[in-house]
Each structure stands twice: as structure tokens, then as C-alpha cells.
Amino acid sequence: MIYTLTTNPAIDLNVTTGTLSTDRVNRTRDAVYTPNGKGLNVSFALGHYGVDSQILGFFGGFSGDYIVREAARRCPVRPVTIDGITRVNVFVTTPEGEYKLPNAGAAVCREKQVEMLDLLREAGDLSCLVVSGSLPPGVDAGYYDELVDVVRARGAELVLDISHPHLAELVARRPLLIKPNDEEVAAIFGVDVGDEGGALAALSELHRRGAQNVLLTLGGEGAYFSDGAHVWHASAAKVKVLSTACAGDATLASFLSVWLEDRGAVERALIRAMATGANVAMSAGLGDFSLVDDLARQVEVTRLV
């Protein structure tokens, strides 16, 4: 069973407005409230493709209750309840572009951190843990190492989609897959992904440091996947972007929905990933995946190495 862990979940509020001004009231429209967090999105997208998973996370207050209730309609949830109020993130789409306004989140005390680790130790069907998103206040980077220790002790696999600088050390623990974007690779590993040569150099460096497999996403420039022996590039489907808030999570989940079952189906996994991510970027939240098949026809995959 795949488990997804969101240490800092949120309600995402997506709204649309005209040009923003400090001189008047800025009326919004088309408000969409979504139970969110990167791991939750991974579970929701996996479920769309018929892959079972369970959601783990820290949840508190009225917003935490809302997320757990709404998420449970789509996927089993095993919450750890905390004091404080789960954050609400705001995404404002304007004619000039999208403003992203995330909040820090509620603090998670050590007792609750241990409760989550114990939950993982007792999950008898754990085969893969996907850890996504930021750490909440009160949790330091060493918690990632504790998660790795538990997963390794259980004989399970680990997938990391995090932007924390500690990823530079975590790759030495040989996670099954990491999914950085070009900005994260530059900030965390000091490798510029400006062109194909830069991407190949970055992938080589990540493998040298310990990563087994890397899905490197580049937004509108597509993505690269490397298993250490071969490298593939997938083009991006061309769409009108409404919000990028959930696109990366859907890209990862849709890739995993194919690749975890068949490690040789890289091309098919990349096509699904690029088409799904593009379709989600057209929507507020995850959307309904209705255009994935059409968008898949735009995606071209090339093996470079």
C-alpha cells in the first residue's frame, strides 16, 4: 500500500479578480476551496488512476476537520490531530498572472511527531511512503531522517517531493525517487538547469549523491526522467494556465501510477504525467482530469542516453 504524508496540509482558496489595487476594494469571484497539501493531491490523483493509497498528515482546528472530512470522501485518511488551526493558502489569479500566498501553518509538537512515526511503524501494509511538501513550525529537518529510518526498517520504498535544503543530504539515503524542479535543483544542489546539457549534468550529480531515480520537472519545458542508466525527456503539452498550485503533485502521482507497477514503462509514465500536470494547470485545484487523453497526444518522449 502506498501512504502519502503531508506534514503541513492546507485548505487552498483559489479566487479570480481584476487588476489588484491598494486604492479600492478588490472583489473576487469563482472561489474554490480545496482540501489540500501535496501528499493529499498525490493520493487524489493516484485514486483517479485506480491506485489505492492512504493519506497521513497533521490536522488541527476547523480547517483540519474540513480537510479530513472532504479528503475521506475520496481516499482513506489516518490523521494525527494537533492543537492550532491548519493553514489556509490563497491563490489569486489576475490578468497579470497568479499571486501565491501560502501561510506557515500550525506548529506540531514533538509528541505528535512521534505519534506519526508510530503510526508508520504499525502500518502493516506499508510498501511505499511518498513525503511531499514543507515542514510545519516545530518540526526540524531531522524529522525527515527519522521518517527514512522507519521506512527502511519496514523494508518499504521512499519517494521525496520536498524543497528543503536537507534534500542534499537525504539523497545519500538512496530514496527510490525524488522529484525536484529546476529551481530546487539550483537552490539545493547548486546545479543550473539552463538547457539540455545542464539538465544532464544535474541528473548525473543527483545520482552521484545517491538518488536512485529522478523526475526533474521544468514547467512549460517538460520534464526529464533518469534511472541512472538512461535519461528521457518529455515535452510539455501547451495549455492556458489558470493555476499551477496542484500541477506538480498530479504530475508525480500520475507518473507513479504507471511506473511503480512497471519500471520499464517510462515513456507511458511520462506521457501520462505531462498530460495530467497540464490538465491540472488549467484548473483551480486538481480539476477533473477530463482532457488528459487529448493532451497526451501532444506529449513527445525522447530517450537521450
Domain boundaries defined on the chain: 2-6+38-85+107-303
Give the active site residues: 249
Helix (H/G/I), strand (E/B), else coil: 300: coil
pLDDT at 243: 78
pLDDT < 50: residue spans in the chain: none
pLDDT at 195: 87
pTM, full prediction: 0.91
- Sequence-distant (6+) residues with CB within 8 A of 3 are 53, 54, 55, 56, 120, 123, 126, 128, 129, 130
- Is residue 305 within 8 Å of residue 231, measured between CB atoms? yes
Strands of 42-147 (E only): list them.
53-59, 77-81, 87-94, 97-101, 128-132
pLDDT at 36: 83
Assigned fold of 2-6+38-85+107-303:
UDP-N-acetylmuramoyl-L-alanine:D-glutamate ligase (3.40.1190)
pLDDT at 114: 98
Residues 180-201 as b/e (b if ≥16 CB within 10 A, e otherwise) read bbbebbbebbebebeeeeebbe
